[in-house]
A and B are shown apart, each in its own frame.
Chain A
Amino acid sequence: MTAALLSDLAQRAAQAGLDVVPFAVPLFIITIVVEMIWAARHDRTAYEPRDTLASLLMGLGSTIAGAFAAGGIALASGWLYLHRVATLAPVWWLWIAVFVLDDFNYYLFHRAAHRIRWFWASHVNHHSSQHYNLSTALRQSWTGFPALSFAFRIWPALFGVPPGMLLTVGGINLVYQFWIHTEAIDRMPRWFEAVMNTPSHHRVHHATNPRYLDRNYAGVFIVWDRLLGTFTPERADDPVQYGIVHQLGTFSLPVIAFHEWAAIARDLWRAPWAAKAGYLWRQPGWSHDGSRETSDSIRARWRATQDDAAI
């Protein structure tokens, strides 16, 4: 009976898509309350009311922007599916395969979001908090759709993966990533840390320490970072400093949401013609005259000051 119900649910989810995020909202709220109580007992600075308010309002804005963008994304993935080169039946193992593939696509998107300024402009707001708690997980982008970030996730529709399946696994991926935004959990069991993305791995990703910059892009499975050379473990002798290299120093929502887009516009206006495109597709911090620093140059200078054993 249960198997039949699950099968029916899976069939309908593959056809129309099942957005699991709204079902997870009560869990989000309860765990944030629990973490706040934990913070009150262990470290009051783990939360800052205005920072939390900004993060949650960014999350709300992202949900509203996402609702309006959903039609466009559905249209694009539907068009790809209409022109598919194969047809895949939504059997149980395809769900698993698509979940893994979508997580790899998330890795690619996330890596691009840190290495290409166009995508960074949309993603940077998620990193703009100097705190790392469950509310930070909800500090999401308002401009992901116009930045075309969804292109990384919908291309499997062209190869016969039902768009509803992509929407469903994408939502599960997003919900998984919520719980890893915390300092309340130190380490998970070793086998779990080896395969899955965890609070420890993701703390590294949110760090501004030179050692940790642009590392651990994983969504659910940390194995992508391990395989592709972007993994760095958290170290007790290098406590994580959270945020972005040039901290915003404000809780203003428009600044959080749009500051990098505004900076790109300024750079495009001022740069010589031959250099303009570089301010869009090169990595954040790149400048045509070399006057700024990228994460690579920051890390290289830091490495030069360290003993080999300390790196």
Chain B
Amino acid sequence: MHGKLPDLIMALLARPGIGPVLIIAAQAVVSLLLIVALYGLARLLKLGGDARIADAAHAADLARAALPGFEPVEISLDRARIGALVRDEAGRVVLVRRHGARFVGKQLTSHHGIRLDRTMLTLETGDPGFGTLTIDLGAQAQVWAASLRRLGDHAA
């Protein structure tokens, strides 16, 4: 096994016309090192901060931004203010969650993936990219869990 990889590398280097590919590879490696250095600097400077939802009005703005035409009438904030559940008059529900130093929101369209554990509500939007979020809504968790069961075509 020893020597196979070096032999392979030597064989690749010996191929005619390999020059431009090597230049691209070398540039990519240097760029990668610089990128890691800039990422490290951003962390060192503590950029990004610790984003939290300030209050219900902030959560309402975030929900409006997430779903065009959405006008909130009911808002519950996570105790740590990293997420929120927001409902409009038509019964549409938007889940807001932290994403880095910003927030994103997504409409909940189904009761699937919604789980209640005392004051903790775990929610899935059906979008794998958005992921699953567990939020602590205190006493409101049970109220929300009950109402969210009516979401979707196959409501329990």
Contacts and interface: CB of A to CB of B under 8 A. Distances in A.
Interface of A: 22, 29, 32-33, 36-37, 39-40, 44-53, 56-57, 60, 63-64, 67, 130-131, 135, 208, 210, 241, 243, 245, 247-252, 255, 259, 293, 298, 301-302
A81 B101 CA distance: 49
A40 B102 CA distance: 16
B47 A40 contact: yes
Contacts of B130: 249-250
Nearest to A213: B68
Contacts of A259: 129
A302 B64 CA distance: 11
A208 B62 CA distance: 12
Given A29-B38, A36-B41, A301-B68, A247 B104 contact: yes
A64 B102 CA distance: 30
Contact of B45 (A40, A45, A249, A302): A40
B68 A48 contact: no
B42 A36 contact: yes
Given A45-B48, A53-B42, A63-B28, 7 more contacts: A36-B45, A37-B45, A44-B46, A47-B47, A49-B47, A56-B35, A255-B129
B38 A56 contact: yes
A210 B68 contact: yes
A212 to B, nearest CB: 13
Contact of A208 (B24, B38, B65, B129): B65
B101 to A, nearest CB: 4
Nearest to A242: B102
A251 B100 contact: yes
Interface in B29-46: 31-32, 34-35, 38-39, 41-43, 45-46
A33 B38 CA distance: 7
A48 B20 CA distance: 35
B34 A29 contact: yes
30 contacts: A29-B38, A32-B38, A37-B45, A39-B45, A40-B47, A44-B45, A45-B47, A45-B49, A45-B51, A46-B47, A47-B47, A47-B101, A48-B47, A48-B48, A49-B39, A50-B48, A52-B47, A53-B39, A60-B31, A135-B38, A241-B65, A247-B66, A247-B99, A247-B104, A249-B130, A249-B131, A250-B129, A251-B100, A252-B129, A298-B69
B106 interface: yes
B111 interface: no
Contacts of A29: 34, 38
Contacts of B105: 247
B87 interface: no
A259 to B, nearest CB: 7
B27 interface: yes
Contacts of B81: none
Contacts of A131: 101-102
A37 B35 CA distance: 16
Interface residues of B, number: 34
State the majority secondary structure of interface residues on B. mixed
A51 B38 CA distance: 12
B104 A249 contact: yes
Interface string B49-71: 10100000000000001101100
Contacts of A298: 68-69
A52 B43 CA distance: 10
Given A60-B31, A64-B28, A45 B42 contact: no
A297 to B, nearest CB: 8
Given A48-B100, A131-B102, A248 B47 contact: no
Contacts of A208: 65
Q: Which of A44, A46, A49, A51 has the most CB of B within 10 A?
A: A49
Contact of A49 (B34, B48, B51): B48
Best-surrounded residue of A45, A248, A255 (most CB of chain B within 10 A)? A45
A256 to B, nearest CB: 10
Interface in B103-156: 104-106, 129-131
A245 B106 CA distance: 11
Name the residue among B28, B99, B105, B106 with the largest chain A CB count within 10 angstroms.
Answer: B99
B41 A51 contact: no
